[in-house]
Each structure stands twice: as structure tokens, then as C-alpha cells.
Chain A
Amino acid sequence: MSASPSANMGCMDEFLVATGLTKSFDGVQVVESVSFTVHAKEIFGLLGPNGAGKTTTIRMLSTVLGPDEGDVTVDGHSVGRESDAVRRLIGVCPQELALYPELSATDNLVFFGRMAGLSGKEAKERAADVLERVGLTERAKDAVRKYSGGMKRRVNIAIALMSRPRLLFLDEPTVGIDPQSRNHIFDTVLALRDEGMSVLYTTHYMEEADRLCDRIGVMDAGRIIALGTPTELKAQIGDPGATTLEEVFLSLTGRSLRD
């Protein structure tokens, strides 16, 4: 099974390009001139403390929220002008558990699959594939309400995979779950990348970013304040071999509490 429908993906190196994204709510600037690129087949980490503007940025990248200024292209399609084309390329796993707890995992997946345009049959087949991938086949018929926290998170990700996206947004996908589930999610994300998917991953767990991400953008108070590979970022403050990303993060964003 391959998650990438396109054969010529490697040619398009810059898969997502964000330029000068700016957004304010009620006069308060929440995202300010954010620019970065996500290359094809890479995991790009967006790190930042609470309220940094990560979720708001993802909303703008995924066509849900219009930016006040700036634009985004995904595989050359403008998010503002060709949102339908962009929506066919992306999958979004929101920060909240965006699912219906009273329905089973299969029913959730089939529902979202059909809403994305799949036929009933296609949706069922794909749901089975995706459930297998996140290791939930055995509990597929149970109401999600009865799942453990880690299983719920995996369903949340599974839903985003239903449309076989080429770019996957994962907004803090591992909040509040045990190491087993977390490792399972890491393995899934790495496998998806190796199959050709691009991933934008937000988190505030530094070791997670260090382990997963090919490149990282550090966000604070609505702005990108550092951009590079984990090794490059560590080199900014010391010996990359002896420094942790956590130290980089704290030295960049300061030690004061955020909320």
C-alpha cells in the first residue's frame, strides 16, 4: 500500500510555501509575518510555547482561516484562490479530538471519508486500511468514547489519513498519552514520511521534535524566531553533540511562563 498517489513528487522540492502570513483577532496580532517552507517528504516541526500561534498558523495553511496578509501555496496551488485543489492534497489532525465519541472508529472514519468525497465502499475499504496502520483493527467497532487516551489520539490521526493526503498537518498529536502510544505514533509518522508524505508537526515536547523532525521552525509570540535542522539550531548555542533542543528552545524563547 502506498500513500502517495503521485509518481513525480521528488521534482517538487518545496511542497508548502508560506510567505508573510499575518493574522490578528480583535486588533491583537497573533501571527506576524510568518514565512517558511515545508519540503516534499520531510517532517517539519513547528515548535513554540502555549499561545505562540501554532494552531492559528495551521488553520491558515489548511484553508480554514483566511490570513490578513500573506499567502500560502501547496504544491503550487494558492490556498486563497485554489482552496479546493489544496484541500485535496492535505489532511488535518486538529489539536482537539475532532471526532464523534459516540460513534465507532470505523463509523468516524467512514463519515469523514465520505464527507471528503469517497463513495461508501471506498470509504469502508480505506477505513480498514487506515485502522490497520494505526493498530486499531481489533477495537474498530467499539464506540470511541470507550477508548484509552492514546487510542483516541490514534483515531484522530487516522481520520486525517482517510483522504490519502500528500501533506499532513499534525497539531500536537501526542498530548497526554503513554510512551507506548507515543512510540506507535512516531513510527507511523516516520513511515508515512518514508512513503513520500510531507508532515507539518507541532509540539512543545522537545525530545519529540529532535527525534522526528528533519527541520524545525521555532515560533514565539506569533513570529518565527529560528529556523533550521535540529543540529543547526543546537549549533547556534553550543556544541550540537552536547546541547539539547530544550536548551535551544529556552534560550530562544526565554524562561518566563506563557499563560
Chain B
Amino acid sequence: MRLLLRQALLLSVKDTRLFFRDRFALGFALLFPILFIVAFSLALGDIGPEDEQLRMAVATEEEGGFSRQVIDALTATDATGVDEWDPQDAEQAVREGSLPGYVLFPADFTQRMFGGGSTVVRITDSEGGEQTVRLTGEDSGARILVVTADGDPETEAILGGLARSIAGRIGTLSLAARGVIELEGFTALDLARLGELGAAPPSIVFTTEQVGDVEPFNASNFTLPGYLTMFVFFAAALGAEAIARERQTQTLERLLANGVRRSSIVAGKMLASLYRGFLQLAFLWVLGIFAFSIDFGESPAAVIVVSVFMAVASSAFGVMLAALVHTVKSASSAAVLASLTLAPLGGCWWPLFITPDWMQALGRLTPHGWANDAFNKLMLFGAEGQDVLVNMLALALFAAGFLVIAVARFRTVSAN
């Protein structure tokens, strides 16, 4: 037992040293989430008209799709000043002059978004005059239209800002996804430039005034825990790649022949991943408190405990992934795929409580879902520690399950 612990600790210390030398891994674990949180908090948090009369209208021609999620997130609380309109009604209202303008998601929005290319904002007046604001690259991706009656600059500015901030965060998202998918050539990935492109803040920043006793809605209270969860899991999943590489280069084999136990290797890898997770937690929570004024709610300790359980589950998840894949390439694909599927399912991109029941049920199949549910309860709805005990238990069970699979399937030798 002492031997196992010693070996696991030595291994995890070595991995941590390597982590600090790997600029990309560091950037991915710490800077990427900030980028996302900034973009989303700008988009969601500070949207709101300065006077109560002015409300923004959004409409979508899509049945479901990604625009549905965006609109649900925007209209989840009244404080954003965003109302959803039926697209035909909105068009009619603009013609009649009763609505100054609206933001429209065209019918092919989601399809184009996943087709690659950039997200583009078009400003259209009801006469058909068009003006395109390109956020990134070529004009082949998804479009968001801003429709105004007469090209009134104030309406254009307000709606254009909303559309741009939505486009901005969608752009960030697809850029990040592409960046990660092209991991092999990641030296070419310039984080600073990526930040410029993806997180370009909207040119107009909207501010919400406090009205009476109602607290201004702070979107960071759910965007931050959401992205924290996503990126802790994402970084842990990408750790599987490093493990697969060690299998390929026969370092794990070498350790085994040196008298290192297989269980020490599994434990060491999990520990290293856990340190990284803790670093992310500390960094992002502190940043959240000081830069985004997030509120831990009634029991800050419970928020911390939930995040620790979440990090434990993530590290077991990463090692399990490494145990299931064969090659380095399949490890990175599996990591990206799993992370980008589990994050939205588990409510990292939009709060699960605004989604239909079946999506909430799906969310409960993911550790992300349980973590986010706990964070939302604690940080938005004033819940206390005992209200999220079941979430902690669920996260612990996920961790145990992942670990069982990891230990059972962990291989040190690769086929060559």
C-alpha cells in the first residue's frame, strides 16, 4: 500500500511538471474557459434595455435547433429584456410600425452552424436593404438577421449588438471545437488571436439598471459553473491522449518492468488529473468572484464540495477514456466528441431548468448534469448543502463507475 502510494505520487508529480511545460494544455485548461465565460457573460448578462419600455424581439424560423437553445437562454429571465416573437407576427408588426425591429434566426441556422464557416450578422431593413457585419473569416456559415423598419440607428445598434454578441459566442464555440479537433497541429493555434476572433465583445455593451429590490440578473452565476464543468471534464478527457501516448512510446511498459504496479499507474494518472482539476477550480472560482461578481449563494462550502466531487469524477472519466481507446488519435477524437456531447446534454451551455423534461432527464445521465444542477440550485435558487447531497452522491457514483471500468480495462501495452 505504501509502495503503491509512493509510486502514484511520484508519477503524478512528474505528470504535473509536464503539464506546466505544455503551453497548450495550460492554455486549454485555464484560458479557454475564461474566453468562453467572458463571451457568454457579455452576451447574456448585460443585455437589457436602459429604459423599461424598450424591449428586444427575437424570432426563429427553426423548429428546434440551436437557435431554440439560444432564445430559451435569452428569455429564461425577464431581466434580459428579450421577448420571443413568432417570425410572421414580427414581420407584420415591423411593417405596421408597432415594432422597431427584431433579430431573426433563419430556418437553416443550425445546419449552417455545424457546416463550418463563420457566423455572420446581417442587418436588413424592411425595404430589403442589406448590410453585412462579418465577425470572422469568409461568409459561408450561419447567419443571424437583424430586421429593422427604417434603418433607425438606435434600433440597429441595439439589435445589432445583441446579434453580434450571440454570433460572437457561437463563433468562439465552433472555433474552439475546430481548434481542438486539429490538436495534432496545435502549435499553429494562436490563443491570443483566437481570443480576438471568437470573443470579440459586441461593439455595444448594454447595461441593466437596478429597478427597485430586484437584483440585476448576473448571468455569470450559471455561465461560469457551466463552463467550469465543461472544461474540467474536457481537460481531463484530453489527459487520455497523454496516457495513450505513453502507452505508444512504451513508457508504461518500462515502468511495469521496473516493478511499478498497474494500479499505481492508474492511481498516479488519476491524481495528476485531479491536481489539474483543482487548479482549474481554484483559478476559475477566484476569477469568478473577483471579475464576474458571482455569488456562491447560501452555502459556499457546498459549492466547493460539489466542485471537488465533480473534479474527482472528471479525473476518473479521463483515465477510463484512456483505458477504452487504442491509439493517441482515437484518444483525442474520443475526448473531443465526449466533451462536446456531454457538455450541452449536461447543461453546461444553457441551464437545464429551461429545457423540456426529456432533456432534463437526459442531463441526469451525465455527471455534468448533476454538477450543473447542484450549482444552479446553490447559486441561483438559494438552496443549501443538504439540498444537493443527492447530487454529490450521484457524482461519487459516476466517479466510482468510471474508475471500475478504468481499472478493469487499463492496458499498458499497445499493439504496434
Chain A positions within 8 Å of B, measured between CB atoms, are: 25, 55, 59, 62-65, 84, 87-88, 90, 92, 94-100, 102-103, 111-112, 114-117, 159-160, 163
Given A92-B253, A102-B21, A103-B18: A87 touches B415 (CB 8 Å cut-off): no
Cβ–Cβ contact A87 & B258, under 8 A = yes
Cβ–Cβ contact B258 & A98, under 8 A = no
Cβ–Cβ contact A62 & B257, under 8 A = yes
For B18, list chain A residues within 8 Å (CB). 100, 102-103
For B413, list chain A residues within 8 Å (CB). 59, 64-65
Which of B35-43, B55-63, B244-252 lies at the binding interface?
Answer: B244-252
The one of B10, B17, B253, B259 that contacts A98, using a Cβ cutoff of 8 Å: B253
Given A103-B17, A115-B7, A115-B11: A98 touches B251 (CB 8 Å cut-off): yes
Q: Is B295 an interface residue (CB 8 A)?
A: no
Cβ–Cβ contact B256 & A98, under 8 A = no
Q: In the assembled complex, how far is the CB of residue A259 from the closest CB belonging to chain B, in whole angstroms?
A: 11
Cβ–Cβ contact B249 & A114, under 8 A = no
Q: In the assembled complex, how far is the CB of residue B16 from the closest CB belonging to chain A, in whole angstroms?
A: 12
A–B Cβ pairs within 8 angstroms, 17 of them: A64-B257, A84-B259, A87-B258, A87-B259, A88-B259, A90-B257, A92-B257, A96-B250, A100-B14, A100-B18, A103-B14, A103-B18, A112-B255, A114-B10, A115-B259, A116-B260, A160-B254
Q: Is B182 an interface residue (CB 8 A)?
A: no
For B22, list chain A residues within 8 Å (CB). 102
For A84, list chain B residues within 8 Å (CB). 259
For B256, list chain A residues within 8 Å (CB). 63-64
For B254, list chain A residues within 8 Å (CB). 92, 94, 98, 112, 159-160
Cβ–Cβ contact B253 & A59, under 8 A = yes
For A115, list chain B residues within 8 Å (CB). 7, 10-11, 255, 258-260
Q: Is B136 an interface residue (CB 8 A)?
A: no
For B14, list chain A residues within 8 Å (CB). 100, 103, 111
* Bound Cα distance A90, B258 (Å): 8
Q: Is B416 an interface residue (CB 8 A)?
A: yes
For A59, list chain B residues within 8 Å (CB). 253, 413
Cβ–Cβ contact B258 & A163, under 8 A = yes
**Chain B positions 238-289 with a Cβ under 8 Å from a chain A Cβ:** 248-251, 253-260
The one of A25, A87, A100 that contacts B251, using a Cβ cutoff of 8 Å: A100
* Bound Cα distance A196, B249 (Å): 29
For B258, list chain A residues within 8 Å (CB). 87, 92, 112, 115-116, 163
Q: Which residue of chain B is the closest to A101 with respect to CB atoms?
A: B249
Given A102-B18, A102-B21, A111-B14: A94 touches B253 (CB 8 Å cut-off): yes
* Bound Cα distance A210, B11 (Å): 40
Sorted nearest first, the 7 A-B pairs with minimum C-beta distance are: A94-B250, A98-B250, A87-B259, A116-B258, A92-B257, A98-B254, A96-B250
Q: Could you list 5 further interchain pairs (A-B, Cβ under 8 angstroms) beyond the known A100-B14, A103-B14?
A: A64-B412, A87-B259, A92-B253, A100-B251, A116-B258
* Bound Cα distance A62, B258 (Å): 9
* Bound Cα distance A160, B14 (Å): 18
For B10, list chain A residues within 8 Å (CB). 111, 114-115
For B21, list chain A residues within 8 Å (CB). 102
Q: In the assembled complex, how far is the CB of residue A161 from the closest CB belonging to chain B, in whole angstroms?
A: 12
